[in-house]
Amino acid sequence: MTPICRVVLALLAAGLVGCGSVPVATLMRLPTFNEGNVSFLDANALRVKVSLPKGFVLDVANTRIVAKVDATGASSNSPLALDYLGRADGRRRSGLLGKDVDVTTVEMDLTDESVKALRETQALIARGKLTGVSLKVDVNVKQSPPGATSTQVWVDLLLSPIEGYFPLVEGATIELNPATKR
């Protein structure tokens, strides 16, 4: 098995409120995520959904995907800004034995500048042997209910419309920055 076949996509869903951050790490193995399809990933198709419990408001302008790619002879650490696509209300499971939580889910895709940056990262992969890939999703909370000190977060990623969304973070608890605890 090549090193890339053992790549684990790392998601760091950071509970960023204002300008602070508290990372929560989740690891997920993606059996179809390999050297061949990273190069051909359609930057225009990449989407992310972030779900927060009702009463919490996502700061889309400061929520980012950070793509870190290591290849022989070079590496890239690109923050990718996101554009708002829409929102939906729904329910998510709170842990394995938890109950359902009312949430607001915001769907986002890459900005035009971020599409260009991802394509430059893909060009880096084409120039050398891929040795590692990770994606970091920085989740920023703009507003929270009075007295809230933490919240749960769910993050889903779409790499291919054919494969659909897959969960990266399911109900992880993140601490809120004091600036947003209103």
- Dihedral class, residue 37 (left if φ above 0, else alpha if ψ from -120 to 50, else beta): alpha
Q: Grade residue 92 by pLDDT with cuts at 50, 70 and 90.
A: very high
Q: Grade residue 67 by pLDDT with cuts at 50, 70 and 90.
A: confident
pLDDT value at residue 61: 94
Question: Which residues, in sequence order, are CB contacts of 27 under 8 Å at separation 6+?
Answer: 8, 9, 10, 11
Per-residue pLDDT tens digits for 126-182: 777 777 777 778 899 999 999 999 999 999 988 888 888 988 888 888 888 766 555
φ/ψ (deg, to 5) at 147: 85, -5
Q: Grade residue 38 by pLDDT with cuts at 50, 70 and 90.
A: low
Please state the rounded mean pLDDT for residues 64-81.
82
pLDDT value at residue 180: 55
Question: Does the pLDDT value for residue 69 go beyond 60?
Answer: yes
* DSSP label at residue 53: E
pTM above 0.85, yes or no: no
Of the CA atoms within 13 Å of residue 67, those in its CB half-sphere come to: 25
